[in-house]
Amino acid sequence: MRGMSASSQNLSPERPVAQPREAYAVFRSIGTRWMDNDVYGHVNNVVYYSWFDTAVNAYLIEQGALDIHAGQTIGLVIETQCNYFAPLAFPQTVEAGLRVARIGSSSVRYEVGLFAAGEPLSAAAGHFIHVYVDKATRRPVAVPEALKGALAPLLRG
């Protein structure tokens, strides 16, 4: 743009890049389904968010940090985002890498990398933030100690 300095131009932030496997603490295999593909021949973008939920909640349940039936504290998603780097398609197996970027007083930022089986870089990477609330009142509560303990091994700066 002639006559404009770099500081006055609308410059976009640094572009996200695919993440290496080493950036994640634990992995879960997820099988794609025929219905996950869209008319363009790859997994539709909305399915990726389902995989984020599956990776996080399965980990929490397996660690005994989330009781989806009798627990009094639940996590509500308040923010989510995903960047796509390479297509995934049925019948691939997806490997979801999980890490925690931040544990706040009542919230947790989970980050998930989705990898084609055996690939070194993520096909997609994103995050979501849970705010933990009382199941009945839906008011924020402190992140339970059991949850903090389960998340500690996933923390990445």
39 in any annotated domain: yes
| Global pTM value | 0.88
Cα–Cα distances (Å) from 91 to 9, 33, 37, 41, 83, in that order, read 44, 7, 9, 11, 22
What CATH number is associated with residue 101? Answer: 3.10.129.10
Question: Domain range spanning residue 35?
Answer: 25-154
Number of structural domains in the chain: 1
Sign of CA dihedral 99, 104, 108, 109: negative
141 in any annotated domain: yes
Rounded CA gap, 86 and 39, in Å? 17
pLDDT band for position 5 (cuts 50, 70, 90): very low
19 in any annotated domain: no
pLDDT of residue 26 exceeding 60, the answer is yes
120 in any annotated domain: yes
pLDDT of residue 2 exceeding 70, the answer is no
Taking Cα atoms as reference points, which of 114, 118, 121, 104 lies closest to residue 22? Answer: 121
12 in any annotated domain: no
Over residues 136-148, the mean pLDDT reads 96
84 in any annotated domain: yes
129 in any annotated domain: yes
pLDDT tens digit sequence for 62-92: 999 999 899 999 999 999 999 999 999 999 9
pLDDT band for position 131 (cuts 50, 70, 90): very high
10 in any annotated domain: no
